[in-house]
Structure 1
Amino acid sequence: MTSSAGVAAPVLVERHGAVLVITLDRPEARNAIDLRTAEAIGAAIDTLESDPSLAAGVIAANGSAFCAGMDLKAHLRGERPRTEERGFAGMVEAPPLKPLIAAVEGPALGGGFEIVLACDLVVASASASFGLPEVKRGLVAAAGGLTRLPKALPRAVALEMILTGDAVSASVLSGFGLINRVVDPGTALATAIDLALRIAENGPLAVRTSKRIVVESSDWPADQEFLRLREAAAEVFASADAREGARAFAERRRPAWSGS
């Protein structure tokens, strides 16, 4: 795929039913993120959010690496690979409200790992590896790695990865619960799409609200937890989709969700 100017697009976007697949397509640069790539990812995330026919997204990559992080050559030219609305890579500071799954083949390093950490679920090839090598270059993982990784892993494990900069295999991180599926090489995308399609079968309002509660509740005071939970869930219980779900169950048919 090429842009109207005849330049190859850095990101491919396609639909699989109610799932939007966003594929990094700069294999010659190990899918490093430059400004064009960040803007293209951000536009795809906006599409996922705004289109009511889309229920979930998958982010994947072509080539031997998932993503090598920030494009250092572009950085030296003065580029900042971020968007005003969503930050680095057009997503890490404001991920979509709808579920997003990372499908990882090969290394996901630096900003590439931070993209993964901004996703909700992770499907990884057995050949995948993950790391934050910024300290090896005198830098820090400022696109979410230093804040999200200690929440996703035991603190000592996260600190070892952060302070050594060493990459860790998918199988090791799976043992700590960071990865949902470790699959045969070449099958991460298909597995992630299948998982996203399973999510898409469910009530969209219920899915979106469930994700929001999980994300926001980590900061709720203990004495307000159930009050805020009831407030957040009230819209779902009063929705047309809740009534449709009950009717479909009673009538032994698939529900026809309206998203309201």
Structure 2
Amino acid sequence: MPVNFEIINGVATITIDRPEARNSIDREAAIAIDAAIKQIESDSAIRVGIITGAGGNFCAGMDLKAFLRGETVRLPDSGFAGVTQAKRTKPLIAAVEGYALAGGFEIALACDMVVASEEAQFGLTEAKRGLVANAGGLVRLPRQLPIKIATQLVLVGDLHPASLLATHGLINVVTPKGGALDGALELARKIAANGPLAVAVGRQVLNESLEWPADELFDRQNAITAAVFASEDAKEGARAFAEKRAPVWRGV
């Protein structure tokens, strides 16, 4: 199988397992990742997802051999690799070792957070192959990085270390080599321990509010977040705090 899927204590880990091809994406891998993302969304026991790669690399993007064979790695409802245009309500964390190139970088950009080892290398290399980063690179980078840094990444196509991108806020945690997955799991466990309704609504407002008019920010936010304050989980959180115990979330 080109993808492994594991669920432990509310955290699901998707591992792209094509190390012989630096975890590049062929059609079989794209379909498998898409199925895993959909399972994360549909299973109420899963609170957080992680996507990573086997064998010391994250993902080198589209498998060019598969491209030449005519394989389609962009799915109609979820985009490249079943990730870049997927409709998600739950957090997804990229755990990056080694190379995150082209579409692999775009998978990371589609995630809510990125944990990368100090030896990880990121690059939108499409222009070097006569292609463009239209699986999210062109539209997400200027929303996540200063425009001049984004322009350099897109037009030059060189590789950049995790440490540099972290200085611009693109990476949440930089770990020692081999530590990206452990770092992502640490973040995921903390998120999974929080109220699922609060996490989902918080993520929704963070993402959607980027496009809201300034004079509507609070009205739109309040309309969405009102349900959280009226929820059973909000009451449970308060009770658990008062009783000095861990909350038991119901997601309602």
TM-score range, shorter chain: over 0.9
Shift of 1:97: 1.2
1:178 aligns with 2:179: no
Shift of 1:195: 0.8
1:208 aligns with 2:200: yes
1:132 aligns with 2:134: no
Q: Residue type matched to 2:88 in 1?
A: P
Give the TM-score of the pair, scaled to structure 1: 0.95
Shift of 1:63: 1.4
From 117, 120, 145, the equivalent of 1:153 is 145
User: How far does the alpha carbon of each residue in 1:84-105 deviate from its partner, in whole angstroms, 9 at most, with x for none?
Assistant: 2211100101252100100000
Alpha-carbon separation, structure 1, partners of 2:166 and 2:121: 11
1:226 aligns with 2:248: no
Q: Residue type matched to 2:47 in 1?
A: A
From 22, 30, 53, the equivalent of 2:22 is 30
Alpha-carbon separation, structure 1, partners of 2:87 and 2:179: 24
1:20 aligns with 2:20: no
Matched residue, 1:6? none
The gaps in structure 1 that reach 5 residues or longer are: 1-8
Q: Residue type matched to 1:165 in 2?
A: G
1:250 aligns with 2:242: yes
Kept in 2, the 8 Å contact 1:39–1:82? The answer is: no
From 104, 112, 133, the equivalent of 2:104 is 112
Alpha-carbon separation, structure 2, partners of 1:97 and 1:72: 31
Shift of 1:117: 0.1
Alpha-carbon separation, structure 2, partners of 1:64 and 1:46: 26
Alpha-carbon separation, structure 2, partners of 1:83 and 1:143: 11
Matched residue, 1:144? 136
Alpha-carbon separation, structure 1, partners of 2:51 and 2:28: 16
Alpha-carbon separation, structure 1, partners of 2:169 and 2:24: 26
Matched residue, 1:235? 227
Alpha-carbon separation, structure 2, partners of 1:39 and 1:62: 18
The range that moved more, 171-180 or 94-103, is: 94-103
1:259 aligns with 2:251: yes
The range that moved more, 31-40 or 58-67, is: 58-67
Give the TM-score of the pair, scaled to structure 2: 0.98
Alpha-carbon separation, structure 2, partners of 1:223 and 1:236: 23
Matched residue, 1:217? 209
User: How far does the alpha carbon of each residue in 1:90-126 deviate from its partner, in whole angstroms, 9 at most, with x for none?
Assistant: 0101252100100000010000000000001111011
Q: Residue type matched to 2:219 in 1?
A: L
Matched residue, 2:158? 166
1:195 aligns with 2:187: yes
Shift of 1:147: 0.6
Shift of 1:250: 1.2
Over the residues paired in the alignment, what is the CA RMSD in angstroms?
0.8
Shift of 1:82: 2.1
Alpha-carbon separation, structure 1, partners of 2:160 and 2:210: 27
Alpha-carbon separation, structure 1, partners of 2:125 and 2:32: 25
Alpha-carbon separation, structure 2, partners of 1:172 and 1:208: 30
Matched residue of 1:15: which SS?
A: strand
Matched residue of 2:82: which SS?
A: coil
Alpha-carbon separation, structure 1, partners of 2:56 and 2:195: 36
The gaps in structure 2 that reach 5 residues or longer are: none
Matched residue of 2:44: which SS?
A: coil
Alpha-carbon separation, structure 2, partners of 1:106 and 1:95: 27
